[in-house]
Structure 1
Amino acid sequence: MLATLTVALCAIGITLTCAVPTAQAAPRPTIVLVHGAFADKTSWDGVASILRREGYRVVAVDNPLRGPAHDSAVVDRTIRTLPGPVVLVGHSYGGAVITNIHDPKVTRLVYVAAFAPGAGEPIASAINPLQYPGSQLLPPALQLKVVRDSAGVGGYNLDAYIEASAFPKIFAQDVSPAAIKTMLAHQKSFAASANLELSGRPSWATTPSWYVVSANDRVIPPAAQRDAAKRIRARTTEIASSHASLVSHPAAVAGVIRQAAG
């Protein structure tokens, strides 16, 4: 009422200090970045740096790589400490993790060359060679080792990792040698059982989603990514990139995250 009266008096020429209240802009979301297998949170450094320069609060979390149920609970504990809203971003296996998070603060999801399983599906179904041929993530490049793991049976687990000489051509063929060296130094092994763990109710069913397809991916076949993006009704961007698009094309990936945050 006061705003209406002020506008009316100003319109007929009565001298007042005319200040009409305006709606406050919505707060910028916090962007939470979840890395995938064979990497750690430093894989997001390029993307995070761009977004922070633009004024976004960015949190890159440590994904334990033990399985979707376990890891989504770990990431959700971080989300609970943050003010809302949140844009949740997952690369590769990190997509399966964000799919299993249902925090009401999360208003947008971004999948980057990522798994987006449905309820009761294992992530391995997205790289089924009969349906989606082309993945090169196979032995002998993919190797196994026994690791100490408090979440495993008897305190141990069987983990997968990519052999160092095969890592560039399979995971990151468009990444510079210097960056490859850093990525190898930060490679984290991945619980082999996580590939077969059945996913829970998918967050993408009720949350607006974006998807960045890596057209030259040698880990998750591009056809599998396109089908995943279509199924989750994502706004989709495709870039000519390896699986490690967040490292080789950080500006393009940050741009899609910015769209989701906007």
Structure 2
Amino acid sequence: MSKPTVVLVHGAFADASGWDTVTRILQQRGFPVIVPANPLRGLRYDAAYIRSVLDGVTGPVVLVGHSYGGVVIGNATTDAVTALVYISAFAPDEGESAVQLDSQYGGPGTTITQSRPFPAPPGAPEPGPDQPPNVELTVDPAKYHEMIAPDVDATTAAALAVAQRPLALAALLEPAGPPAWKSLPTYFVLSTNDRMIPVAGQREMADRMGATTIEVAAGHASMFGQPDAIADFITIAAKN
């Protein structure tokens, strides 16, 4: 019997390369893996893009999201998805936004980021008075090692910091639709050394989803610190 395809969705302030080690482990186990570039432009847009990736997959899918990627996967499922796996991730209920959860759980998202304006695509209308401006956020490079990737050396963290993909402010503010975790088997990797999404917040989200949960001693980008444990957990979700 063929194995499901694992689709790994990165979060904000990162890119698809963060999944490299987990990808190699899963591929060695015979899993087809897809690691799309999450646009990070807005929740509906990002979810539609990931859904378009899923539409091109034949057979079942295990959908995995890290950080803001958790917001996306909950709104991007298709009938092919058999399980959702959240890695140190936000898991909003309907009507909640990432910035709302960050504030609710005492996260530092609004204090360690810096913003800059970006142009709208050609022909796109300028945001209206009730819409967020065309502003995108990045993590202050001086804080990236401590807050995002404490499980890598300082030189690697410095390179990750300058390669981080910015997140549009609109993506943080946009409320989630009806979440797929209410109808699919759900798994959650809780990172005990996470300084971006406090542990208590991760645990509360996992509990309200009824997720099968493990804890790993890792920072926010836990795929760097605990790739084997994460790959093992995804394998369990795929087998179930």
> TM-score, normalised to structure 1's length?
0.84
5 Å-filtered alignment, 1:1-262, equals: 25=1, 27-128=2-103, 131-133=104-106, 135-139=107-111, 141-150=112-121, 153-154=125-126, 157-262=134-239
Per-residue deviation at 1:218? 0.7
Per-residue deviation at 1:186? 2.5
* Aligned amino acid, residue 68 of structure 1: L
Decide whether the 8 Å contact of 2:217 with 2:226 is kept in 1: no
* Aligned amino acid, residue 231 of structure 2: A
SS in 2 for 1:165: helix
Per-residue deviation at 1:122? 1.0
Per-residue deviation at 1:153? 4.8
Q: Which runs of 4+ in 1 moved over 6 A?
A: none
SS in 2 for 1:115: coil
* Aligned amino acid, residue 213 of structure 1: L
Q: Distance in 1 between matches of 2:100 and 2:119?
A: 27
Decide whether the 8 Å contact of 1:137 with 1:218 is kept in 2: no
Deviations 1:29-77 (A, max 9, x none): 0000000000011111111011011111000001000122110100111
Q: Distance in 1 between matches of 2:64 and 2:119?
A: 28
Per-residue deviation at 1:136? 3.2
Per-residue deviation at 1:184? 2.1
Q: Distance in 2 between matches of 1:58 and 1:183?
A: 22
**Aligned residues: CA RMSD:** 1.7
Corresponding pairs, count: 233
Q: Distance in 2 between matches of 1:149 and 1:88?
A: 30
Residue in 2 aligned with 1:19? Answer: none
Bigger Rg over Cα: 1
Q: Distance in 2 between matches of 1:69 and 1:236?
A: 27
- In the alignment, structure 2 segments of 5+ residues that lack a partner are 128-132
* Aligned amino acid, residue 58 of structure 2: P
* Aligned amino acid, residue 228 of structure 1: M
Q: Distance in 2 between matches of 1:149 and 1:79?
A: 27
Decide whether the 8 Å contact of 2:151 with 2:224 is kept in 1: no
> TM-score, normalised to structure 2's length?
0.92
Per-residue deviation at 1:248? 1.8
Identity of aligned residues (%): 39
Deviations 1:198-250 (A, max 9, x none): 10010001010100001111111111100110111110011111101012211
* Aligned amino acid, residue 145 of structure 1: R
Q: Distance in 2 between matches of 1:256 and 1:181?
A: 29
Decide whether the 8 Å contact of 1:68 with 1:197 is kept in 2: yes
Residue in 1 aligned with 2:130? Answer: none
Q: Distance in 1 between matches of 2:44 and 2:110?
A: 25
